[in-house]
Amino acid sequence: MWPLASHHSFKINNYASDVFNVTSVAEARSVANLDNYLILGEGTNTLFIDNYDGVIVKSCITGISYEEKKSGWHIRVGAQENWHDFVVWTLTKNICGLENLVLIPGSVGAAPVQNIGAYGVEVSQYIQSVEAVHIDTGESHTIANTECEFSYRDSIFKKNPRSWLITHVNFNISKAWQPNLSYPALADLNNQTSISARAIADAVTAIRSSKLPNPNEIPNAGSFFKNPVVSAERYQQLIEDFPNLIAFEVGGDYKLAAGWLIEQLGLKGTCCGDCCVHDKQALVLVNRGNATGDNVLALCRLIQQRVEQRFGVILEPEVRMIGRNGLIDDITKYQRS
Ligand code: EPU
């Protein structure tokens, strides 16, 4: 049995059958021989609701190499490198572009899986390609950005969680840097005469630290739910009933701020056992110490029901929830054994 508590940031005391550390592309090819397996990075977006009857596979490939070209940089990064450390490394080299994504927990290999994003930027904007081993065939592939099917917190890797073991991520970062201050919380920086990537990183660090709990201090898995996307028509109906509704237009549809919906229901600070809605950001659930899988399921369902009753909107978990047999498809139906 392999204890999972220190391998996922929500830190529930559950166990996997075993672990397999992949340190080379050659080793990645033998994952196909495992019966039941789950690929895990730093576990900052994964929550083990139950013991897991299978082997945890970890990509332990590290290293950063880079090449400066006339128009920008090409950077190849091993999957196990820490995302935040990598962003800081780019800034020390005066490579600008990833600064809005500073302080996101997790590994570089996990970044493309759910197309991490924050403060107006998604990582897919900077990924040139992803190197991964196709587990069934054992073949190495370099998957171009356009083939990764990136969208909001989604990719080909997330849609096919047992198919690909990511070994490296290739970034293309242009020298024609443009600060991205589109997110309302960063708009104040527009008033400055000159703005640096470092200043943006500092501002993002300050905002994140003020409302998002540090997983090393208060166990959590970041945003627990996705921000739901509704049609323009549905949005118009909602805004009539809830004039203060916070939403952002995305390609004709509207992405609703799920944290706002949950806060309106007075659920900040609500707990089921030791699993609680964070008191500064309602989209984040925290483990106050001894949360169990049942506590998480109960709080998740309570929030989903209350949001649906009041707003007619269904919240889907953003966190990858893992049960006894692996990824849980429908959290509303899962029963712990
Ligand atoms: N809001 C509330 N109450 C709350 C939380 C949010 O009213 O309790 C309001 C805020 O005031 C703001 C709006 O909702 O007007 C959006 O909130 P915020 O800027 O905190 O961002 P979010 O939509 O809740 C998303 C990402 C975060 C990312 C931030 C910043 C998702 C699921 N989450 O959260 O990503 O850091 O934007 O870009 O898209 C993560 O994925 O784990 C994560 C933390």
Give 52-66 as a DSSP string.
EEEEEEEE----EEE
225 part of a folded domain: yes
Angle between helices 83-92 and 197-211 in degrees, nearest 10: 150
DSSP letter for each residue of 115-160: T-EETTEEGGGTEEEEEEEETTTTEEEEEEGGGS--BTTB-HHHHS
Handedness of CA 234, 240, 242, 244 (dihedral sign): positive
Nearest to 51 by CA among 325, 309, 262, 285: 325
Contact (Cβ atoms closer than 8 angstroms) between residue 170 and residue 199:
no
DSSP letter for each residue of 207-262: HHHHHSPPTTTS-EEEESBPPPEE-HHHHHHHHHH-TT--EEEETTEEEE-HHHHH
pLDDT at position 104 is 98
> pLDDT tens digits for the chain (337 residues)?
999 999 999 999 999 999 999 998 889 889 999 989 999 999 999 999 999 999 999 999 999 999 999 999 999 999 999 999 999 999 999 999 999 999 999 999 999 999 999 999 999 999 999 999 999 999 999 999 999 999 999 999 999 998 999 999 999 999 999 999 999 999 988 888 789 999 999 999 999 999 999 999 999 999 999 999 999 999 999 999 999 999 999 999 999 999 999 999 999 999 999 999 999 999 999 999 999 999 999 999 999 999 999 999 999 999 999 999 999 999 888 988 7
Please tell me the distance between residue 257's alpha carbon and the centre of ligand 1 in angstroms.
7
Judge whether 223 counts as a catalytic residue.
yes
pLDDT at position 6 is 93
Nearest atom, ligand 1, residue 262 CA: 8
Domain that holds residue 109: 64-174
Whether 75 and 142 share a structural domain:
yes
Judge whether 208 counts as a catalytic residue.
no
List ligand 1's pocket residues with C-beta within 6 A. Answer: 118-119, 183, 185, 212, 222-223, 226-227, 246, 257, 259-260, 263, 281-283, 318
pTM of the model: 0.96
Whether 130 and 230 share a structural domain:
no
Whether 267 and 166 share a structural domain:
no
pLDDT at position 192 is 81
Q: What is the CATH number of the domain that holds 226?
A: 3.90.78.10
Q: In the β-sheet with 271-272, what is the strand arrangement from edge to edge?
A: 220-223, 284-287, 275-277, 271-272
pLDDT at position 255 is 97
pLDDT at position 196 is 95
The residue whose CA is least distant from atom 5 of ligand 1 is: 259
Please tell me the distance between residue 254's alpha carbon and the centre of ligand 1 in angstroms.
15
CA 101, CA 165: separation in Å to the nearest integer? 23
Of 115, 142, 174, the last residue of a domain is 174
Adjacent-strand bridge partners of 247: 256
The residue whose CA is least distant from atom 11 of ligand 1 is: 260
Indicate the number of domains in the chain.
2
CA 299, CA 331: separation in Å to the nearest integer? 12
Other beta carbons within 10 Å of 227: 23
156 part of a folded domain: yes
